[in-house]
């Protein structure tokens, strides 16, 4: 029941209870809370056992889809879509064989023998503007 509550949260609850209820009523409140939690757990266990007795083997068939739904809590949609689209291909775009002149890797992308694309850093860079020089303007782009 307290899987998602850490020790820090429990400590904050105890300190808040100490301020709200005071030191004289806090032990009574803690005992009442423990009895209530125990009673709720006993009700849930009894209901589960009664349902299992009444349904018999059909109870396990009912629990299987519920456990599958519980497993969807940890579903990563990005991973599922990528796996579905690329069928588990580790390099779907063929970028592992990408030629990088800086590290001297191979000249083809490896998957179909096509020439590699040069990375942006390997392309010639334009000269920087001199002080007072205006940058070129492309009227179609503005």
Per-residue confidence (pLDDT) for residue 110, from 0 to 100: 47
Structure confidence at residue 46 (pLDDT): 92
Establish how many alpha carbons lie within 13 A of residue 83's alpha carbon, considering only the half-sphere containing its beta carbon: 6
Could you tell me which residues are beta bridge partners of residue 3?
none
Phi, psi of 16 (to 5 degrees): -65, -40
From the list 36, 53, 46, 26, the residue with the least C-alpha distance to 1 is: 36
For residue 113 the two structure tokens come to: 């023998």
Of 93-97, 106-110, 116-120, minimum mean pLDDT range: 106-110
Q: What's residue 40's pLDDT? A: 94
pLDDT, tens digit, 9 for 90 and up, residues 62-101: 778 878 777 777 777 777 777 777 776 666 666 666 655 4
Distance separating alpha carbons of residues 125 and 107, to the nearest angstrom: 22
Q: Which of 116, 80, 77 is closest to 96 using CA atoms?
A: 116
Q: Span 31-38, mean pLDDT?
A: 93
pTM over cut 0.85: no
32: number of Cβ within 10 Å: 10
Residues 117 and 101: beta-carbon distance below 8 Å: no
């Amino acid at each position: 029941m307290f899987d998602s509550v850490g020790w820090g949260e429990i400590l904050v609850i105890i300190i808040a209870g100490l301020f709200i209820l005071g030191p004289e009523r806090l032990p009574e409140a803690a005992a009442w809370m423990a009895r209530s939690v125990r009673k709720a757990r006993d009700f849930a266990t009894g209901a589960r056992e009664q349902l299992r007795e009444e349904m018999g083997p059909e109870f396990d068939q009912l629990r299987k889809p519920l456990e599958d739904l519980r497993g969807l809590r940890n579903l990563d949609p990005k991973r599922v879509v990528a796996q579905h689209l690329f069928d588990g291909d580790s390099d779907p775009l063929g970028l592992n064989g990408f030629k990088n002149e800086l590290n001297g890797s191979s000249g083809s992308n490896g998957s179909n023998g096509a020439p590699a694309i040069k990375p942006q850093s390997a392309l010639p860079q334009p000269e920087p503007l001199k002080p007072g020089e205006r940058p070129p303007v492309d009227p179609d782009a503005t």
